[in-house]
Amino acid sequence: MDIIVCVKQVPGTTEIKMNKETNTIIREGAEAIINPFDEYAIEEGVRIKEKMGGSVTVLSMGIPKVADLLRETIAVGVDNAVLLTDRAFAGADTLATSYALATAIKNMESYDLIVCGKQAIDGDTAQVGPSLAEKLGIPHTTNVKKIEEIKEGYIRCQRMTDDGYETIEMSLPAVITVVKEINEPRLPSLKGKLRAKKTEVKLLTAEDIGADVNLCGLKGSPTQVIETFVPEFEVKAEMFEGSAKEQAKSLADALLSMKYAKRVD
Amino acid sequence: MNYFLTEEQEMIKELAAKIADEKIAPIAIEYDHEGKFPHDIVKYLAQSDLCGVYIEEKYGGLGGGVFEMALVVEELSRACGGIALAFAGTGLGTYPIILFGNEEQKQKYLPDIAAGKHLAAFALTEHDAGSDAAGVRTTATLDGDEYVLNGTKQWITNGGEADVYTVIACTNKDKGARGFSAFIVEKDTPGFTYGKKEDKMGIRASCTRELIFNDCRIPKENLLAREGMGFIVAMKTLDRTRPGVAAQAVGIATGAFNAALKYSREREQFGQPISSFQAVQHMLADMAIQIEASRALVYQTCRHIDSGAKNISKESAMAKVIASDTAMKVTTDAVQIMGGYGYMREYPVEKMMRDAKITQIYEGTNQIQRNVIAQELIKEAAKQKK
């Protein structure tokens, strides 16, 4: 079973610098990590491979330095690493990102399953996984917490919901996005690290994958970020005085005036 | 300080540090208080291929030596000196097989230890055989194709948890220490049982038990080297594992120092962080000097041993003494810098102070180490005179 795991580089700190002109994150120079949810995706991919044979390929889009992060995934059992890196990809929103990823995947020989983390911890959109499936014309399930069964052309998994889970069957190839409940990612191994050192990350440009540059990067992104800011939370406190009855009346009046309550006679 | 580690050694250190920080540090206090054996941590070590760093590649290891073992012990000990012993105690139990095992014995025992499936232990100490190791009373008598073991070993690290035990027993009472032999004894051998788990001051996540041999029959193939070689097996083993204790001590000291330094910058008294007071600054400086000096001697001793040097007892003893005395001093000072908080059981440094003490005692007390060092110095001087 050949598995593709899509991973994203995210800032490793909470001190994020923004590009004021494009309102996108400045990724150069900042400490970078693999999006934590993607680590669960990698682990699940490797577990399926270990059980059924086949291969795991990690795929990412980003600056050339991301290759170092992708190489680290070899140490936890990934076989191949592919990085889409090109100026044309810069500033992509989720639509342009899933276009680029889908175009690269269409060029790959064969695949049975695509695994993504449920969302990235920087943008928090959770859109790329489902959008990728749409572009590839294959089914998808989000927030998978357990794979109950997987075999040639078939997967049955549990999709986490607010109050339990749904069991979903799909034909393969398909896309799943996973939550952290699905597994405990393994630690890198020494033999894996030694292997990683020798592994070359395949770098591909927009031209290499035959992508239309007008659909990539900032050009292909209809999402316009107008402004980014840390929301301010203001807490106003009003103290009511008087007897309990008076305080209750003052509180009721205040709630009514704020339209949080409705008088019932 | 750049110690010019090889790329592989850097990787080993990184992986061990990751396990220490992510897996051990969060549970160290709990395992200490509850005296819980760290089987889960051993699994992580196995997953990361660290269990066999000092074992030859053809037996599934990485092909490193004492240095690689010490690097792992140091990193793990930074988070918990007791938990690190599951690994370090296994090294102590395995080295007799590495040094004196025949091909069959190595094939049989080393791969499972390298893979982290089996833990090992070393059993020399008895009630009457501590610093005077020649006091061993446990006997092994050849009866047909088997040796029959009788006696009790005391304070055995990994006792009851290990799968493979190297046991020193007397095969000829008339010859004293020259009548000792070394044997491999497997867990669950009939006649081999364990005493109670000892209630210790420190290294409480490590398991220390008596080993009781009562007409325990083992195949004669389990004899290491030859009859009468037991004392040499023990001494040569300890020469190679003392840097492991030293590394444990460096790790414990580093953990305590890091905690004290961090605390001194956060804790404010008289309107300023206590790190701004010279009294505290000098303590921190002294701690750092002692740790770095110890680490430098431990690393260089490891390299000396791994280079194949023949005379290693003196250096090995020196590394153990300086590192363990440093660990005791530094952990005590860390508690002092942290004051009342340092003394509380919910913070990690009081545990580190308790853990440090054993490093001055086991694998040869520091007094015995100084005897060894002095004897070697006098021997060397006598040779030069000729």
Which residues of chain B neighbour A193 with C-beta distances below 8 Å?
11, 15
Q: In sequence order, what are the residues at sequence separation of 6 or more whose Cβ sits closer than 8 angstroms to the Cβ of residue B249?
A: B77, B81, B294, B320, B323, B324, B326, B327, B356, B359
pLDDT tier, A232 (very low <50, low <70, confident <90, very high otherwise): confident
* pLDDT tops 80 at residue A94: yes
- Residue A92: predicted pLDDT: 84
Sign of torsion, CA B269 B274 B280 B281?
Answer: negative
- Residue B168: predicted pLDDT: 97
CA–CA distance, B294 with B20 (Å, rounded to integer): 21
Instruction: Tell me if A194 and B8 make a contact (CB, 8 A cut-off).
Output: yes
Listed residues B230, B259, B283: the one ending a domain: B230
The residue among A194 and A260 whose pLDDT is bigger is: A194
Strands B164-170 and B180-186: antiparallel
- Residue A33: predicted pLDDT: 87
* pLDDT tops 90 at residue A30: no
Residue B13's domain is classified under what CATH number?
1.10.540.10
* pLDDT tops 90 at residue A124: no
Helices B313-343/B348-359 angle, 10° precision? 150
* pLDDT tops 70 at residue A239: yes
**Full domain range(s) for residue B76:** 7-119
Interface of B with A (CB under 8 A): 7-8, 11-12, 15, 18-19, 22-23, 44, 47-50, 53, 62
Q: Phi, psi at residue A85, to the nearest 5°?
A: -140, 125
Is B102 inside any structural domain?
yes
User: Are B221 and B195 contained in the same domain?
Assistant: yes
pLDDT tier, A16 (very low <50, low <70, confident <90, very high otherwise): low
User: Are B58 and B135 contained in the same domain?
Assistant: no
User: Are B128 and B32 contained in the same domain?
Assistant: no
Find out whether B115 and B184 touch, Cβ atoms under 8 Å.
no
* Nearest chain A residue to B53, by CA: A190
Report the number of secondary-structure helices (H) and strands (E) in chain A: 7, 13
Find out whether B287 and B260 touch, Cβ atoms under 8 Å.
yes
User: Are B101 and B145 contained in the same domain?
Assistant: no
User: Are B30 and B103 contained in the same domain?
Assistant: yes
Listed residues B119, B143, B168: the one ending a domain: B119
CA–CA distance, A22 with A218 (Å, rounded to integer): 9
B48 → closest Cβ in A189, A194, A197: A189
The number of folded domains in chain B is 3
List per-residue pLDDT tens for chain B, 386 residues long.
999 999 999 999 999 999 999 999 999 999 999 999 999 999 999 999 999 999 999 999 999 999 999 999 999 999 999 999 999 999 999 999 999 999 999 999 999 999 999 999 999 999 999 999 889 999 999 999 999 999 999 999 999 999 999 999 999 999 989 999 999 999 999 999 999 899 999 999 999 999 999 999 999 999 999 999 999 999 999 999 999 999 999 999 999 999 999 999 999 999 999 999 999 999 999 999 999 999 999 999 999 999 999 999 999 999 999 999 999 999 999 999 999 999 999 999 999 999 999 999 999 999 999 999 999 999 999 998 76
Strands A154-161 and A164-171: antiparallel
- Residue A14: predicted pLDDT: 62
- Residue A237: predicted pLDDT: 86
User: Are B40 and B128 contained in the same domain?
Assistant: no
Shortest CA distance to A58 belongs to which of A38, A34, A82?
A: A82
Which residues of chain B neighbour A187 with C-beta distances below 8 Å?
15, 18-19, 22-23, 44, 47-48
Instruction: Tell me if A187 and B19 make a contact (CB, 8 A cut-off).
Output: yes
Please give the interface size between A and B, counted as residue pairs whose CB atoms are below 8 Å apart: 32
Is B180 inside any structural domain?
yes
CA–CA distance, B205 with B273 (Å, rounded to integer): 34
Q: Is A161 exposed, middle or buried (0-12, 13-18, 19+ CB in 10 A)?
A: exposed
User: Are B377 and B247 contained in the same domain?
Assistant: yes
Shortest CA distance to A54 belongs to which of A91, A122, A4?
A: A4
Q: Whole-number mean pLDDT of chain A? A: 88
User: Are B86 and B100 contained in the same domain?
Assistant: yes
* pLDDT tops 90 at residue A223: no
Q: Is B354 exposed, middle or buried (0-12, 13-18, 19+ CB in 10 A)?
A: buried
- Residue B282: predicted pLDDT: 98
- Residue A156: predicted pLDDT: 95
pLDDT tier, A13 (very low <50, low <70, confident <90, very high otherwise): low
Strand, coil or helix: B147: strand
Instruction: Tell me if B15 and A188 make a contact (CB, 8 A cut-off).
Output: yes
User: Are B255 and B378 contained in the same domain?
Assistant: yes
Residue linked to tokens 């209809």: A222
Residue B213: C-alpha distances to residues A215, B18, B152, B167, B279 (Å): 77, 40, 6, 10, 55
Is B42 inside any structural domain?
yes
Interface of A with B (CB under 8 A): 186-194, 197
- Residue A19: predicted pLDDT: 75
Instruction: Tell me if B50 and A190 make a contact (CB, 8 A cut-off).
Output: yes
Contacts 24+ apart (CB under 8 A), A9-14: A9/A33, A9/A34, A9/A35, A9/A60, A9/A62, A9/A63, A9/A66, A9/A69, A10/A34, A10/A35, A10/A120, A10/A121, A10/A122, A11/A122
A171-211 pLDDT, tens digit per residue, is 999 999 999 999 999 999 999 998 898 889 999 998 999 88
* Alpha-carbon distance A187 to nearest alpha carbon in chain B (angstroms): 6
- Residue A77: predicted pLDDT: 93
Rounded to the nearest angstrom, the gap between the alpha carbon of residue B126 and the centroid of all alpha carbons in its chain is 18
Question: How many C-beta atoms lie closer than 10 Å to residue B329's C-beta?
Answer: 16
User: Are B96 and B213 contained in the same domain?
Assistant: no
Which range (A57-61, A143-147, A226-230, B100-104) has the least confidence? A226-230
Quote the tokens at residue B242: 């003392």
User: Are B146 and B221 contained in the same domain?
Assistant: yes
Residue A135: C-alpha distances to residues A101, A102, A127, A130 (Å): 9, 6, 12, 9
Which residues of chain B neighbour A189 with C-beta distances below 8 Å?
15, 47-49
Residue B369's domain is classified under what CATH number?
1.20.140.10
Listed residues B230, B251, B278: the one ending a domain: B230
Which residues of chain A neighbour B11 with C-beta distances below 8 Å?
190, 193-194
- Residue A211: predicted pLDDT: 85
* Nearest chain A residue to B7, by CA: A194
Q: Amino acid identity of B35?
A: G
Is B176 inside any structural domain?
yes
Which residues of chain B neighbour A192 with C-beta distances below 8 Å?
49
User: Are B128 and B28 contained in the same domain?
Assistant: no
Is B1 inside any structural domain?
no
- B363 among known catalytic residues: yes
Catalytic option among B68, B161, B315, B363: B363
B48 → closest Cβ in A188, A194, A197: A188
Task: Give me the residues paired with residue A164 across strands.
Answer: A161
Residue B225's domain is classified under what CATH number?
2.40.110.10
Tell me, what DSSP letter sits at residue A199? P
> Which residue of A50, A193, A195, A198 is the best one to mutate when testing the B interface, meaning the one whose CB has the most B CBs within 10 A?
A193
Domains and CATH numbers, chain A: 2-215 (3.40.50.620), 234-265 (no CATH)
